[in-house]
Amino acid sequence: MGSLFDGLPDPPSAPAADRSFPPGTPLAERMRPANLDEVAGHRELVGKDGFLRLAIASGRVPSIVFWGPPGCGKTTLARLLSAAGDLRFVAFSAVTSGVREARAILSEAANLRRVQSLRTLLFIDEIHRFNKAQQDAFLPAMESGDILLVGATTENPAFELNAALLSRCRVVPLQAVSGEEIRGLLERALGDAQRGLGGTAVQCEPAVLDALAEAADGDVRRALTQLESVVDDARSRQSGVVTTSDLERHLRQPLRYDKAGSSHYDQLSAFHKSLRDSDADAAVYWLERMLAAGEDPLTLARRMVRVASEDVGLADPQALGVALAAWQAYERLGSPEGELALAQAAIYLALAPASDAVYRASKRARTLVEERGSLPVPLALRNAPTQVQRDAGYGKGYRHAHEDPQGTGGMVCLPEALRAEEIYQPTERGREGELAQRLEKLRRTRRQ
């Protein structure tokens, strides 16, 4: 009697150098690395003493979440782990499938391990698309050893994956592949007659490979797809050489940017911190980078209003007005005319004297409110519209500031328990330096 799993395909392996491909297989798939030595980039993982190489050699590969940008090799590394460990490879996308399909795969994996002692490497692409409750479905199979889970995500796992799943996985950050590594891969693809484009008799000028590697923006798949496109175009024109003038219609690729994902927050953070660090060049670069990628200009306008108070504050009181004016100008003009007002505001904020004294004062005051609760209002400051309130002492001791030559009655306006607090601590930068002198004079008057 045959096994329950007779007829199942053998566990898929990574592409071998002598493997044949069906007609129409994309170059990016044909050039998928057959072993760790062919992987572009990630030397800290696949190099001589790299984590993945050592884990494979020891036979102790943990469940992993690969976190990195598109085209950096997450799927490839998962396939190589499967091939090296003689594991059945099952690819599963959280975009197109749900927990019902996952449970069927997990049940099959448990039966395969019990009957054939064959473990399954379950590769879940876009694992962050599962909500945190759905992620719990994989925990029992991971704990029992039925599956080795390898997830892939472009989003920060700390935000998108639940603690139970993260505690059972090793998070492996992957960086975008360098332009130099991508260029070397393009050269290899051009010269490989079996898996690559070596049989086409089409060559590329060195500057073409440079441009393709740079335009790929760290995405190996994009680079190989574009190389295949320009070579096919040259063949259709019966040209044996791809020149830089042939590239224009092939390199119009959108910038990598997800308005709801990590790239959005990373670049918005870079914009804010460039403004804070008084780097006008970087500030206007990140502004234009996000605008070019399709960011809502009003998101950037709102961030600059925040910066005007948080990072400039009273060192330049006009900064808030400049940011608000840029916001209003964009709302009236729209794109592209209104974007220039945003650039003007960004440069102004970056060059304004910096101070976070208002921000720190706000935080300190909020902390005092939360820690000390409902402290009573000083009697002198209380409203006293009736005789009953006046008899109770409301308003007693109040001094009208405008009747004083110094413009202050010198009263203690904080609750009695906080009268020694000096919440606002101005810097000496810009206009705030003048305000610091006046503040000290007023505090001195109150102390007297």
Task: Please tell me whether residue 91 adopts helix, strand or coil conformation.
Answer: strand
Q: Model-level pTM greater than 0.75? A: no
Q: What is the largest CA-CA distance in the chain?
A: 107
How are beta strands 170-173 and 64-67 bridged, if at all? parallel
Q: In 8-149, which ranges are continuous DSSP H helix?
A: 27-30, 43-46, 51-58, 74-84, 99-116, 132-135, 139-144
CB of 160 within 8 A of CB of 130? no
CA separation for the pair 212, 287 (Å, rounded): 25
Task: Please tell me whether residue 348 adopts helix, strand or coil conformation.
Answer: helix
Angle CA(184)–CA(190)–CA(192) in degrees, nearest 5? 100
- pLDDT profile of the chain (448 residues), mean per 10: 38 50 88 89 88 89 90 91 90 81 89 90 90 86 91 88 91 91 93 89 90 88 91 89 81 56 79 94 93 89 96 94 95 91 96 93 92 87 86 83 72 84 88 85 79
| Residue 1: predicted pLDDT | 36
CA separation for the pair 225, 212 (Å, rounded): 10
Domains, the chain, in order of start with CATH, read 33-173 (3.40.50.300), 179-246 (1.10.8.60), 262-351 (1.20.272.10), 381-447 (no CATH)
| Residue 336: predicted pLDDT | 87
Contacts of 250 (CB under 8 A, 6+ apart): 226, 229, 230, 233
The DSSP code sequence of 161-223 is S-HHHHHTSEEEE-PPPPHHHHHHHHHHHHH-TTTSSGGG--EE-HHHHHHHHHHTTT-HHHH
| Residue 257: predicted pLDDT | 55
**Residue among 95, 151, 86, 93 nearest 119 (CA):** 86
| Residue 14: predicted pLDDT | 45
Task: Please tell me whether residue 46 adopts helix, strand or coil conformation.
Answer: helix
Helices 339-351 and 297-307, interaxial angle, to 10°? 20
Contacts of 54 (CB under 8 A, 6+ apart): none
Query: What kind and span of H or E run contains 159?
Result: helix 157-160
